[in-house]
Amino acid sequence: MANVLPTLHTTIQHLKEEFHLIPEARKTILKQVGSYLQKKRNAQQTTLLNFICTHNSRRSHISQIWAQAAAYYYNVSDIRCFSGGTEATAFFPSAVKAMQEAGFSITRVKQQANPVYEIRFADTADPIVVFSKKYDDPFNPANNFAAVMTCTHADENCPLVLGADARISLPYDDPKAFDNTPLEAAKYTERVREIGRELLYAFSIINP
């Protein structure tokens, strides 16, 4: 297991102890992610994952960041993770805060309506550059990637993701439903932990 930032390491240890909380139906989907990763690894090919949601503001960003961190933690090399939406908005502040609380180091490097962030999960790994974008933005891969659909709306409204060699439906409930309510912080934390738990599980089943 690779070394990650201390608070993040503690979060990961807790989430690993909660793998039993993942429903079997979800594990079946996560094994599809694992199978795709394993196939690329066995072929000695770089694995490209593009996590797609409607606005690229919450679930897709959280998934992208957790997947990249999980790959590093489990020493699964040649993995590059991206995210995008059917439209671009901005990485939502409550999602940023919840990821920071989980232990990620997040720095806003461009102050604008759609900010650009650098996100670190380990001192010895390059940061992830994160900003909201459409799924087919030039920043993202154009072919030979897995499209991982993190919301049902994007799944239904993107019946074809051009260039993808796999499509996996892995939807999560949107914490946006609790914005500006007393449950907002708790629901963002809940979603960050759920996505982290599941993606850590998906990477944990990869063979060297």
**Is 1 contained in some domain?**
no
- At residue 197, what is the residue type? R
CA–CA separation, 179 and 176 (whole Å): 5
Count structural domains, the chain: 1
Tell me the pLDDT tens digit for each residue of 111-129: 999 999 999 999 999 999 9
> In this predicted model, what pLDDT tens digit does every residue of 31-79 receive, in sequence order?
999 999 999 999 999 999 999 999 999 999 999 999 999 999 999 999 9
Residue 150 covered by a domain: yes
Indicate whether 77 belongs to any domain.
yes
Looking at residue 1, what is its pLDDT? 77
| pLDDT over 90, % of the chain | 94
- Identify the pLDDT of residue 2: 79
- The enclosing domain of 129 has a CATH number of 3.40.50.2300
Count CA within 13 A, CB hemisphere, residue 154: 33
The H or E element spanning position 105 is strand 105-110
Q: In whole angstroms, what is the distance from residue 39 CA to residue 56 CA? A: 27
Query: Residue 133's domain spans which residues?
Result: 6-204
